[in-house]
Chains A and B, each alone.
Chain A
Amino acid sequence: MSASVVDVLKWLRHGDFPDRADHWEQAGAVDAQGVREAADAGLLGLTVPRRYGGDGWSLPEVVEVHRTMAGFSPSLQSLLVVHSMVCQAVLRWGRSDLRELVLPELAAGTKIAAFALTEAESGSDIRSLRTTLAERDGEILVTGRKRWISFGELADVFLVFGMSDGGGSCALVPAGAGQRVSPEPPTTGLRASRLADIEFDATPTSANLAVGRPGFGVPHVATSCLTLGRVLVAAAAVGVAQAAVELATAHAAQRQVGGVALGDRQLVRGLLAEASILAEAAWAMVRAAAERVEERDPEAATAAGRAKVLAARAVSVATDHASRVLGAAGLAEGHRLTRLSQAARTYQVIEGPNEVLLDLVGADLLRREAATRQGGDR
């Protein structure tokens, strides 16, 4: 399956995709058929190299699709995020036989992957995982409970993170025996993303499905996945911000209040302008971060964190401003803007809450300052 950027963008913007996406968000669930169609359009293999049956796109191309898709279906976009994160884990940290074994299925979307890191007691702090991965006789037994796992209800395989004798580790665990998957209560944003609460009770998986050696699952595998995830979620936040700006601008152009078009009022133009400027700035940063990740630049993780923070801010301001411009109409339940605003709130938290990322960027600044100072002493 090999799709061109232009074809995919056409598929997203035209045809019945926007209507179907609307239906999933309203119904609170992306259905299995929706996932299948995304797979058939080649969307699940965008980041996977062609030699494994993927589309082999570069990340700067991939973010374009994420931005566009999130404007229609933030939930389906989140499937692409977690699935790509798992593909990335296997591609970068998996043994060559594991890559040959699983990447073709993941790229084709015949298997759907979910990313199982978060626990009730371990959200943004990934060093305190309680799940255990115990290896014995060629098998790994997984025990623990994972929360808020996007598309956990539909996934065929989970990338599960936990502690082993050798430190933080991770392994692919096929869905099935020895686990209990229950739906999470729907979240306000990304409510169609089939969130699951998953309990693993000494669930066996083959030792060959371990990704990276013990001690590398956390920090290395998790962090490189989260870096990719941050760029993709930032792209989604920009898409949602731009969709909000478009809605607000269209409304301002035609709505008359007191005999004057809203768009003729300076304060309203100011709201639109501010939202649009932030969204475009965030987009430039997302693309720059995507290039760094693509090039495996050592600064990629901080660039991704910076882009995610700005994109989260942009989407927050844009949906807020748009909501004011649209007035009551835009506050109605089921209105597209309401869903965009709810997604905006979710983007402040997932893939690293703002505060955590600001801390990461601030720590980097201080480290550089210290290095410059120490460099003078050397």
Chain B
Amino acid sequence: MSGTKQVVSYDEVHQQVREYVLGLVGVSELDGDRELITEHVVDSVAAIQMVDFVERTFGIEVEDEDLELANFNTVNGLTRLVAEKLRLS
């Protein structure tokens, strides 16, 4: 998949996800556990953008079993999902 980068660590995943979400929300700080979707911090378009972003950036495929709100609702949740799929610890 184009745009796929070789990511080596959990921290790097976290950093990239965080940067992306900060850009989407337009803020410089954001708690990693802040509820993005359920508290309407991001709009519906941004909710999809987050899925597209992690798929493209980390070369993973989000499947039905990954569709738990906990995986997409926070920066920490997204990071954990990507790390799990990439088998990072």
Please report A residues at the B interface, Cβ cutoff 8 Å. 93-96, 126-127, 166-167, 212-213, 215-216, 218-220, 222-224, 227, 295-302, 360, 363-364, 366-371, 374-375, 377-378
Shortest Cβ distance from residue B68 to the other chain A in the assembled complex, whole angstroms = 7
For B48, what are the chain A residues with a Cβ–Cβ distance below 8 Å?
A: 219-220, 223-224, 227, 301
With the chains together, A375 CA to B22 CA distance in Å? 9
Q: B69 on the interface (CB 8 Å rule)?
A: yes
Q: CB-defined interface of B54-68 with A at 8 Å, one 1/0 digit per residue?
A: 011000000010011
Q: B53 on the interface (CB 8 Å rule)?
A: yes
Nearest neighbor of B26 in chain A, beta-carbon distance: A370
Which 10 interchain pairs have the tightest Cβ spacing? A370-B26, A219-B44, A374-B28, A371-B23, A213-B67, A367-B26, A298-B52, A298-B49, A95-B64, A301-B45
| A167–B38 touching, CB < 8 Å | yes
For A127, what are the chain B residues with a Cβ–Cβ distance below 8 Å?
A: 44
Inter-chain pairs besides A219-B47, A371-B22, 19 sampled, C-beta below 8 Å: A94-B64, A96-B64, A127-B44, A167-B69, A219-B37, A219-B43, A219-B48, A223-B47, A223-B48, A295-B2, A298-B49, A298-B52, A360-B45, A367-B24, A367-B25, A367-B26, A369-B26, A374-B26, A374-B28
Shortest Cβ distance from residue B51 to the other chain A in the assembled complex, whole angstroms = 7
With the chains together, A370 CA to B22 CA distance in Å? 10
| A213–B64 touching, CB < 8 Å | yes
For B23, what are the chain A residues with a Cβ–Cβ distance below 8 Å?
A: 367-368, 371, 375
Nearest neighbor of A222 in chain B, beta-carbon distance: B44
Q: B8 on the interface (CB 8 Å rule)?
A: no
| B44–A218 touching, CB < 8 Å | yes
Q: CB-defined interface of B24-45 with A at 8 Å, one 1/0 digit per residue?
A: 1111100000000110000111
Prevailing SS type, chain A contact patch: helix
| A296–B43 touching, CB < 8 Å | no
Nearest neighbor of B48 in chain A, beta-carbon distance: A223
| A300–B52 touching, CB < 8 Å | yes
Nearest neighbor of A215 in chain B, beta-carbon distance: B69
| A301–B22 touching, CB < 8 Å | no
Interface residue from B27, B53, B68 paired with A370 (Cβ < 8 Å): B27
Interface residue from A93, A299, A301, A378 paired with B67 (Cβ < 8 Å): A93
| B47–A297 touching, CB < 8 Å | no
Q: A213-B64, A298-B53 are in contact. Are A378 and B28 (CB under 8 A)?
A: yes
For A218, what are the chain B residues with a Cβ–Cβ distance below 8 Å?
A: 44
Nearest neighbor of A224 in chain B, beta-carbon distance: B48
For B25, what are the chain A residues with a Cβ–Cβ distance below 8 Å?
A: 367
